[in-house]
Amino acid sequence: MVERSACRRQESRIVLLGHGLVISVTIVVGFLINPIAGMGGRVALKGTDGVETQKKAKRRGAVPTAAKRAAVAVRALASRGLDMKLLTCAGAMGGDVLQREGLRFTTVLTPPKATTALDTKMAVTEFVSREADIILFCGGDGTARDIVEVAGLRVPIVGIPGGVKMHSSVFALRAEDAAELIESYARSRRTREGEVLDVDEDDYRAGRARPRIFALARVPDDRDHLQAAKSTYSEASAEAEAEALGAYVANAMEQRTLYLIGPGSTTEAIAKAMGQDKTALGVDAYIDGKLVGRDLTESDALALMQKHDRRGIIVTPIGAQGFIFGRGNQQLSPRVIRAVGADGVMIIATPTKLRNTPALHVDSGDDELDTLLRRPFKVVTGAGRRRLMKVV
C-alpha cells in the first residue's frame, strides 16, 4: 500500500487559545447517502441493486435503513467540534439527515425522489469540482464503486456501513467509527490505498460470491477504525479443514433444537455433513439434521422460532474482516439474535481463516445488543478444539 499526503487547497484560520496561536484548518466534507442501501438485507435479497429488486424488497416489507446508520455517524462527527464545511444533496441523499441533526450544509444537487447510481455520480462530480477534501458516504460496495468511478484517487473516501455487501476496505468498522476516521484525516491528512471490491448481485443471489477488485481508492491512514477487505480461501488444505469442521459441528448439534445457520462456505460444510442442502449466501434452518427453512428472511426466522423453544445460531466470521453479524447476514437481525441469546450463538472458523482474522466484530445496528455481544467467545475450529477470541 502507498501512503500519500493530501495536497489539496485548504482554508485555515488562526484561533487564540490561552497564550498561543493555533491554526485551525477547515475540512470540506462531501456527504451523501444511498437511500436504498441495505434494504434487501433482512428480507434475504442480498442486495438492492436494480429497480425490480427494490420493488421486490418493498413487497417483502423492507424499510430503508441507511438514513438511521448515517445519522449515527453524523451525530458522532458533530460532537468532534471540527471546523467543517459540509456539501451534500437535498432530501434523502443527505440533506434530510443533516437538517435533523442541526448541522449547516450547502446543497450541491437536488435529486429525484427515486434515486439511481447516476445521482451518486453527479453528486461526486460536484464534490470534486468544489474541492471537497474527503467524501463521507453511507451505502455498500455498489455505492463505493459508483463513487470511486468518479473520484478515482483524487479525493479520499470513508464509507458508513449501510449496505448488504460490504467487502471493500473503505468502510468504517461501525457507523460511529466513521467520525473517528474523518477526524483522523483532518488532523494528519495522511492517506493510504484501499480496495473497492464488488460482486455481481445476480451471481451473489445464486450463491456465487467471488468479490473482485474493481478499483483502488484513497482512505484515511487509520487501520484501527477501517475494516479490512474480505478474503477468500481456495487452498485444498482450507477446504479439507472446512469439511472436517463441518462434520464435527453437525455431529455436535443438539437434538430437538432449531439451528439458524448463516452464510459462508464454512457453514455450508455443516449442511453437507448432514446430507442436506445449504443456501451458500443465505440463512437456513435445521432441526435434527433436516432442512426446515431455506433462505430465510428476518420474519421467516422469527416465525420459526415461535414454534421452537430450543434455538441456536451458527455463524462464521467473514475472512480477514472478522464480522460475525452485520455484514451479509442481516437476516440475523437484532430481534432474531435476542430471541436466541448470546449463549446460543456458536462461532465456527477453520484454523486457516482465523490465522488471517485478527479480531471479531459485530455491527448489528443495535448498540445495546452489540455491547452485549462484545465478550469472549470460544470459536470452534475443529474436533475438540476451541480458540478464545473476544468480539471487539
**377-390 pLDDT tens trace:** 999 999 889 999 99
Is 228 within a domain? no
Is 360 within a domain? yes
Q: Which pLDDT score, from 0 to 100, does residue 228 have?
A: 85
Q: Which pLDDT score, from 0 to 100, does residue 229 have?
A: 80
Q: Which pLDDT score, from 0 to 100, does residue 17 have?
A: 43
- Name the least confident of 114-118, 129-133, 207-211: 207-211
Q: Which of 154, 188, 220 is the last residue of a domain?
A: 220
Q: Which of 220, 247, 279 is the last residue of a domain?
A: 220
User: In this structure, are 172 and 200 located in the same domain?
Assistant: yes
Is 231 within a domain? no
Is 370 within a domain? yes
DSSP three-state, residue 274: helix
**159-194 pLDDT tens trace:** 999 988 788 999 999 999 999 999 999 999 999 999
User: In this structure, are 268 and 204 located in the same domain?
Assistant: no
Q: Which pLDDT score, from 0 to 100, does residue 200 have?
A: 59
Which strand (E) or helix (H) includes residue 172? Answer: none
Residue-averaged pLDDT of the chain: 87
With 80 as the cut, is the pLDDT of residue 305 above it?
A: yes
User: In this structure, are 274 and 185 located in the same domain?
Assistant: no
> What band does 19 get if pLDDT is binned at 50, 70 and 90?
very low
Is 225 within a domain? no
Residue type, 136: L
Q: What are phi and psi of 25, to 5 degrees?
A: -95, 130
Is 169 within a domain? yes
**343-362 pLDDT tens trace:** 999 999 999 898 889 899 99
CA distances from 332 to 40, 211, 248, 260 (A): 13, 22, 23, 8
With 80 as the cut, is the pLDDT of residue 325 above it?
A: yes
Q: Which pLDDT score, from 0 to 100, does residue 199 have?
A: 67
Residue type, 17: L
CATH classification of the domain holding 153? 3.40.50.10330
CA distances from 297 to 41, 61, 261, 327, 359 (A): 8, 10, 13, 15, 28
User: In this structure, are 179 and 300 located in the same domain?
Assistant: no
Secondary structure letter of residue 91 according to DSSP: G
User: In this structure, are 208 and 255 located in the same domain?
Assistant: no
Q: Report percent pLDDT > 70 for the chain.
A: 82
Residue 138's Cβ-side half-sphere holds a number of Cα atoms within 13 Å equal to 34
Is 386 within a domain? yes
Q: Which pLDDT score, from 0 to 100, does residue 76 have?
A: 97
Is 296 within a domain? yes
Q: Which pLDDT score, from 0 to 100, does residue 24 have?
A: 53
Nearest to 41 by CA among 14, 9, 65: 65
User: In this structure, are 103 and 75 located in the same domain?
Assistant: yes
User: In this structure, are 56 and 31 located in the same domain?
Assistant: yes
User: In this structure, are 205 and 117 located in the same domain?
Assistant: yes
Q: Which of 193, 220, 247 is the last residue of a domain?
A: 220
With 90 as the cut, is the pLDDT of residue 146 above it?
A: yes
Domain around 78: 4-220
Q: Which pLDDT score, from 0 to 100, does residue 207 have?
A: 53
Rounded Cα distance, 79 and 95, in Å:
18
Q: Which pLDDT score, from 0 to 100, does residue 212 have?
A: 79
Q: Which pLDDT score, from 0 to 100, does residue 37 have?
A: 85
**83-99 pLDDT tens trace:** 999 999 999 999 999 99
User: In this structure, are 140 and 243 located in the same domain?
Assistant: no
The angle subtended at Cα 40 by Cα 339 and Cα 165, nearest 5°, is 95
Name the domain count of the chain. 2
With 50 as the cut, is the pLDDT of residue 14 above it?
A: no
pTM value? 0.79
User: In this structure, are 116 and 255 located in the same domain?
Assistant: no
**30-62 pLDDT tens trace:** 999 999 887 755 655 555 555 555 555 566 665
Q: Which pLDDT score, from 0 to 100, does residue 164 have?
A: 82
User: In this structure, are 9 and 119 located in the same domain?
Assistant: yes
User: In this structure, are 298 and 201 located in the same domain?
Assistant: no
Q: Which pLDDT score, from 0 to 100, does residue 371 have?
A: 96
> What band does 65 get if pLDDT is binned at 50, 70 and 90?
confident
